[in-house]
Amino acid sequence: MRLITLLIMTCSFWSCVKDKPQEPGNTVASIQADRKVLIVNEGNFGWGSGTVSLYDPTTGAIVSDYFGQQNNGALLGNVCQSITRHNNNYYVVVNNSNKIVVVNAENFKKTGTINGLVSPRYLLPVTYNKAYVSDLYANFIQVLDLNTNALSGTIPCRNGTEEMISIYGKAYVSNGNSEYCYVVNTMNDIITDSVLVGKGAAGICIDKHSKIWVLSSGDAASAQTGKLSRIDPVSLQIEASWSFNAGESPRNLCINKTRDSLYFLNNGVFQMQINSVALPTSPLISQGSKIFYTLGINPKDYTIYVSDAVDYVQKSKIEIYSPNGTFITKFNAGIISTCFQFE
């Protein structure tokens, strides 16, 4: 009986342990790993420093504050918003600190800081040596010289610019405070056109047919519902558009590696094929009582990463699901995980 009791207690212990998120620490996760995921964590607005966590999907190793570890405990600032890799550098956009921190992609050591920004959101390289920086409050898009890491100009645009993509010599800029997606000629840095996509546009991506998809969350104050639009980048015509129900707030548009399946958050994780004729009616992954904050699709294996902000004070829980929505594992990252960079 004592042996049976011991076996039952041991099994119960292991069943509890496997459901507990792995706690981050200074583990063997390395930027040199063949597969890795960088997770940008905002930190608490105004009083907490943002961080970048490093996760190795192969070993499960996690480093909670990888930037601090590689830079003698240095702080990134407040609030960390996004990360972009280009020219063997990572550009970490730090929104509330009005700057972009440049780090070496080989070892994640800081190499410079780009100051003079208002409230930066995302960085989009449009040529080898030039990038655009969207901004939450500035009435312009910043032009950045990547050779010198100096701001070289501005493109007048209504404040609230968010995610951007580039195709056929044009940049498409979503805007949360406007009903339009703006089109910029990347040769002369001039807005040449706009496309009506609805209020609250923030997510944007390109599918395998080179069509542009824009997700707008809507605006409750003006009774505008969220909208998903597909745009032809040549004619700039909206080929298809779907409206969400009143009260819904879709966000975090993503696309998989083969660029034939869309994903977004809307009180759960939803999946939609690019050839669908209607919006999905049920989530691929239910949210339940969790606070799903951001979403990412790993191009290496199509796994779905979603962050649970918990209470916006504790460390976020990162959950990983298979492409069909089956739970795989979870671990803790930093406070308010907001962006995934898959390598």
Name the residue among 87, 339, 79, 101 with its Cα closest to residue 202. 339
Question: Is the predicted pLDDT of residue 14 greater than 90, yes or no?
Answer: no
Q: The whole model's pTM is what?
A: 0.91
Q: What is the pLDDT of residues 39-75, one digit of tens each?
A: 999 999 888 789 999 999 999 999 999 999 999 999 9
Task: Compute the half-sphere exposure of residue 301: CA atoms within 13 Å on the CB side of its CA.
Answer: 12
Task: Report how far residue 280's alpha carbon sits from residue 268's, in angstroms, rounded to the nearest whole number.
Answer: 12
pLDDT tens-digit series, residues 270-288: 999 999 999 999 999 999 9
- Pick from 10-14, 38-42, 101-105, 220-224: least confident: 10-14
How large is the average pLDDT for residues 146-170? 97
Q: Side chain identity at 62, as an amino acid letter? A: I
CB 100 within 8 A of CB 91: yes
pLDDT at 111 over 70: yes
Per the CB < 8 A criterion, the answer to whether 269 and 282 are in contact is: no
* 41 SS3 class: strand
What's the pLDDT at 27? 54
Joined tokens for residue 313: 């004070």
Mean predicted confidence (pLDDT) in 224-253: 97
Q: What are phi and psi of 209, to 5 degrees?
A: -100, 10
Q: What is the pLDDT of residue 220?
A: 87
